[in-house]
Amino acid sequence: MKIWLDRRVCDVWEAACESDFADKFLGDEILPAACTVMLAEEDDNEKIVFYIRDRDGSEKELVVDDSNLAAAIDSWMIAYAEQKEKTVDIPADQVL
């Protein structure tokens, strides 16, 4: 599944956002939230990919699977930060 979110249109404060994220996107059923832009079903039920346009205009991609589901339920923001730490950024001039 792929889910596109735009946090710029939502005025929910951070703690409520964390709770809404877990309740609406990581439970047995996906429920719409104020920031939901689009959902796309896929054959791959092993993961959910979130494309998040954040309030500061940045774009985030969070992949939630069995390995980080519990962390994402506790805090999607911390789960994203941990995922980002594991990602290696390669400067464009070094890509072949």
Domain that holds residue 82: 2-87
% of residues, the chain, pLDDT over 70: 92
pLDDT digits (tens, 9 = 90+) for 39-69: 988 776 789 999 999 999 999 999 999 999 9
Give pTM, 2 decimals.
0.84
Specify if 59 maps to a domain: yes
Specify if 58 maps to a domain: yes
What value does the mean pLDDT take over residues 17-30?
90
- Residue 44 is predicted with a pLDDT of 66
First to last CA, the chain: 31
Q: Rounded to an integer, what distance in angstroms lies between the CA atom of residue 33 and that of residue 31?
A: 7
Torsion sign over Cα 24, 29, 32, 35 = positive
Asked if residue 95 has pLDDT above 70, the reply is: no
Asked if residue 30 has pLDDT above 80, the reply is: yes
Specify if 30 maps to a domain: yes
Q: How many domains does the chain have?
A: 1
Specify if 6 maps to a domain: yes
